């Protein structure tokens, strides 16, 4: 009888060990993440931020609202790139106004209507704020933020893919959209509902023409919009994602970060975005995120080691007067913090005891 019992006990223990490992991994959110997918079906459009069209609930689940805590106000956008890290623009955090202090900020996710957080909306404090050490005016306009608690993913809160570090190839991407709560027209009112704009990627050589942006644009940047204007990001959208689908797949990658432009939606003055391809290695170094697979496979997984850097943010120098960045006048917002549910360790052990009793 003992000979028959031993394999049963061994199998039971192995099963329970596997169950426990899987359960703990899912509870801690350490399983591999399937990035860049939307739980809701959304028809692509050529809608506008300037001029306005409301995004469908859940259409852009990696979109983040960065808010100044003492004003309860949206100021900039950001993108979820892992359970612990957000991607944004360096110019959103000027030292002159004290915005380079991480304690001034919070990140709100799973949000569509600034005045009406949903039941799945969550808020996180900022544990680390890192600006690119060579940020200056429109150059190296990139930043990463570490949240104080892991982000709970669901249908309305997801992680975006990051393209593999290297040169940006415009021909790989389609269905590009910029999203945010910025101004709906130049010098106009900010949006209350998350806006989306379908934009076209513009070759760098076109954007560098003298009657466009000339030498202000380099290969660390991406131009997106339309030659005739009319569709563009605007103030308040800065730091948010330029999300594009990798051709032949259903996955979205954040290929750009809203950075700057002359006015909003002007002729020959499209939006200019920080290219995430160019800064992939910098993002990996600062965050510990591993952008592990080739984007050509259509699948991008990111391992997150939760590394918290302690670097101070950079100074924000003066910028040319004709360049528009993304901070906007504060708008009021009612906040609600809905953290994810957790199972205490004692309850977990009791659950496993009862479950594994039948294993033997």
Active site amino acids: 91, 141, 238
Separation of alpha carbons 117 and 132, rounded Å: 32
Residue in this structure with the two tokens 């910025």, named with its chain if needed = 182
The residue ranges of DSSP E strands in the chain, in sequence order, are 63-68, 73-80, 85-88, 105-109, 122-131, 143-147, 173-180, 195-202, 221-225, 241-246, 252-260, 271-275, 290-291, 302-303
SS3 content of the chain, % helix, strand, coil (to 5): 20, 25, 55
Alpha-carbon distances, residue 259 vs 31, 252, 357 (angstroms)? 32, 19, 58
Q: Measured between alpha carbons, how far is 261 from 301 in angstroms, rounded to an integer?
A: 32
Please choose, from the candidates 301, 250, 299, the residue with its C-alpha nearest in 3D space to the C-alpha of residue 31: 301
Q: Give the residue carrying structure tokens 């957790």.
A: 342
The conformational region for residue 230 under phi > 0 = left, psi -120 to 50 = alpha, else beta, is left
Q: How far apart are CA 268 and CA 107, in angstroms?
A: 34
Nearest to 78 by CA among 153, 140, 193, 159: 159
Give the residue carrying structure tokens 């160019």.
278
């Amino acid at each position: 009888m003992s000979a028959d019992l031993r394999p049963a006990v061994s199998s039971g223990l192995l099963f329970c060990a596997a169950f426990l490992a899987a359960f703990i991994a899912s509870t801690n959110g350490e399983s591999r993440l399937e990035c860049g997918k939307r739980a809701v079906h959304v028809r692509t459009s050529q809608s506008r931020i300037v001029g306005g069209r409301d995004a469908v609930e859940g259409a852009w689940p990696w979109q983040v609202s960065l808010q100044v805590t003492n004003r309860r106000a949206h100021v900039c956008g950001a993108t979820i790139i892992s359970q612990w890290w957000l991607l944004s623009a360096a110019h959103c955090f000027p030292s002159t106004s004290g915005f380079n202090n991480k304690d001034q900020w919070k990140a709100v996710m799973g949000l569509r209507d600034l005045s009406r957080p949903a039941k799945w909306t969550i808020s996180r404090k900022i544990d680390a704020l890192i600006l690119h050490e060579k940020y200056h005016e429109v150059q190296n306009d990139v930043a990463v933020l570490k949240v104080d608690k892991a982000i709970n993913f669901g249908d309305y809160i997801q992680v975006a893919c990051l393209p593999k570090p290297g040169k940006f190839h415009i021909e790989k991407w389609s269905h590009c959209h910029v999203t945010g709560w910025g101004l709906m027209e130049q010098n106009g009112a900010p949006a209350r509902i998350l806006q989306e704009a379908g934009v076209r990627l513009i070759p760098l050589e076109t954007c560098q023409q003298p009657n466009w942006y000339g030498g202000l644009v380099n290969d660390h940047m991406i131009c997106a919009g339309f030659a005739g204007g009319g569709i563009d990001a605007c103030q308040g959208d800065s730091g948010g994602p330029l999300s594009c689908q990798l051709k032949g797949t259903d996955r979205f990658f954040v290929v750009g970060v809203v950075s700057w432009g002359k006015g909003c939606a002007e002729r020959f003055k499209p939006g200019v975005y920080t290219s995430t391809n160019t800064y992939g290695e910098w993002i990996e170094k600062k965050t510990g995120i591993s952008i592990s697979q080739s984007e050509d496979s259509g699948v991008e997984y990111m391992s997150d080691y939760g590394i918290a850097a302690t670097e101070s943010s950079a100074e924000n120098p003066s910028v040319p007067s004709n360049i528009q960045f993304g901070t906007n006048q504060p708008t009021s917002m009612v906040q609600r913090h809905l953290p994810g549910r957790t199972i205490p360790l004692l309850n977990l052990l009791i659950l496993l005891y009862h479950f594994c009793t039948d294993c033997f």
